[in-house]
Structure 1
Amino acid sequence: MDRRLIEAAQMGNVDLLFNLIKYDPLILHSVSLAEEETPLHIASMAGHLDFVQQILKLRPEFATELNQDGFSPLHIASANGYLEIVKELLRVDRDMCAVRGREKRIPLHYAVIKGRIHVMKELLAASPDSVEHVTVRGETALHLAVKKNQIEGLRVLVEHIKEFKKEGVLNMKDEHGNTILHLAISGKQAVMEVNSLNKNSLTALDVLLIFQSEAGDREIEDVLVQAGAKRARDLHTSALALTSQNQGVTTNPSNGPLMPIERTRSPARQLLEYFKYNKIRDSPSEARNAMLVIAILIATATYQAVLSPPGGVWQDDSLSSNNNGTDTTEPHSAGKAVLGSKNMVSFGLFIFFNSVGFFTSINMIYVLTSGFPLQLELQVSMCALIITYDTSMTFMTANNALSVLFTVVSIALPFVIHIATMVARNYLKWPRVALQCTSLQSA
């Protein structure tokens, strides 16, 4: 590029620019032949608005060209915070907000890195979708704001995301699988106090556990716990323990001193804590698999019990006792339960509770396998299992009326369990909904 043109751009001398064009009308056209900066790059870096306006009138295509470092004029003006130049460049073409420079960074990324708040707002207004653009490392503007500790810029981005309903950007991950929460914690940046209380005396962990969702909760909870997040009740307990530690006692806020502080837990207690379910350590898929195995074991055991009841079944038919009185066996039929002939009450209790276990476990298997492949085949198999169970139970029951009763109860039992579960959930849901509404009002 002509040295005099470089000087004109550096000084913002519009008169010199026109004089050069007067003597060499193709001077600006020859600039495009060289892979270097254009006068628009130089003027955008120096902040000369008048010179930028004239260049854009003469050669508007300069606005989209990248220099040898991979920067467009909009990248340069955004990084330097020249709001008026940014507006002029956007008047030429608003799509320049999506021009990717070095490492696939767009102008918004550089404005965020440098904390140019006014430029950020202008770029977001021109291209609302630019907040979703990622760099070559998978970083969004949010990642860059957290990395560079640009708290005000992060606030502007979050407000923009809420306004345009792009909440999914908050959970986007970089090439290392880090969300902005991971970066904030790993960098020990003071984006938020994890144990601060809202107006309803709830911490961030409390609100997370109250507002349960289908995905992402466990990961966020892990990050919060690693950062030292606690529930409000645990904070209160810790504070009481610290204040009374010097005296060797723990305090109850309502009843006063109770007992010496437990320094260490017993080995049995530690073993129990290790093996019991921990929702922070154990994933939902692992818990579901364990429950599915348990339900299958219960279904197998109860199904086998109805095939081989206590005392077995009669092997022959006997209509009456012998006349000589030596055979005291009561009348029975082959295949009927021995316990049913001897003690109908005990047999009835056995059949009822065995059926409760069987049909409840079948219902658990149905719920836990919902959405699995070959769902229809699986349901047909479970229906066949239920029919064979009812057939076996009906046949071995000596009393026909009792047999019909057991059959009806066994068929209705899964529906009763399902309805009872729904009623219980709805009953417990109302206090939770009320708490959520209170949290929203006070947060």
Structure 2
Amino acid sequence: MAAESKSVAVTMQSAKTEDKLMVAAEQEDIDMLYQLIEEDGNVLHRMDKMDVVDTPLHMASSKGCINFAMEMMYLKPSLAKKLNKEGLSPVHVALKSGHTQLALSLLRLDKSLLGVKGKMGYTPLHYLVMYEKDEDNLKKFFDDYHPCIINDLTSQGETALHVAATCNNQALKCLLQWLRTTAKMSMLQKHKLLDVSNRDKETVLHVLARNQPEPQIVKMLSSDLRINTEVENLKGQTALQILESSDKKGNDNIIKCVPILRHTKFWDPVAILRRTPFYIMAMIAQWGYEIKTMSPDNGNAMLVVTVLILTTSYQASLSPPGGVLPADGPIKNNSNKFSNLQIYIGSINGTTRSNHSYHVMENIDFKPNTSTVGSSVLKNGQFLWFFVPNILAFSTSFLLTCLVIPTLVSGFFSFVLTLSLSTLLFCLLDSALVIISPDNQTSQILFTCVYTIVYITYLAIAFVVVPKMRKYVIS
């Protein structure tokens, strides 16, 4: 009997201690926290052993008591992964209560809290896009914790895009703008994210059409991010059909959204042609992302291949087929010059009754010998067919080399190597445009091609080099 009364007294004392801890958390009284721990040293350990429990960390998160929450994280970090009776972790509670800075502080201490799933499989990311309105907080979260945007799905198979489209268009707009401009996700990952369907086979466009469609967001999804507008859900409806059958037809937003989707085709040649520069930059961004995430061994292997292509294409540009006009011979008299060259390739045995053999020859015509010393002996068309692909191969390898170098060599040396490669590129262009070109017309054609290639190349390099230089300048 005495033992039973003693255990009841201990239970009552622990219950009182836990209640007092909740009061201390609500009042952000850190001194009271340590006083209670001194009285009952196992109080936090008892909470940690429970699967579902309201902890002082939950209370501090709901009240925005950031100092108390940080103190609790240092004392018992595992409490940050506990779910309360509502199925929410402290990070969920902080985001739901509008205390985003507190939630970000908890995540900085332990990034694994991002993966804690609460009620219906909602992660902190889903609660962020559900409740947060501040654009700076949203962008900071997306920049720091972008992998979870792709990986986090609810029990309904919904991404953060689906959740935002349901109840928070401001967060959805911010997330879509971030997806358009960020280089932290590859082009393939972005398209994969936009194509994700929930359990009802609905993309983010379906969910948006059913809830709160806005013309700006619909246009961003259909025109800018090129989401497939022809996907059907389980009921066989596209997003356009959902809008047309909506019971809110008088809504101004729906009236504006219908023509946007009606005139948007996933395979629209005109729209694709108009957005060709965007696709080129997206492809370059994809290259940059894959190179940035490449392992050092793969980077070294790629450098070997690109340097081999650079060397071969550079040497081929200096020694085009047929050679160049010599400096030690008469150039006025063309009577002793070859006008064409026949190359024997092989023979084919006849299949007719006569059973004759046919010789296969290839003719290469040379231009009249009226050009300057060092220019190619080929005619204009043949020269261009050789030189344009050669410069394209050189420029592509040059671009990839310049993107790989900063991932393997940092700081000043990467800049010096990139500058050296740029000098080599200009030497090639000078030889192609001024010396080896047969005439001025060919030089102009080459100049147009080369200008486009070099512009794209240096624009791509700027995405890698400029941020690094800015970092050193600011520091």
Which TM class, normalised by the smaller chain length? 0.3 to 0.5
Rg bigger for which structure? 1
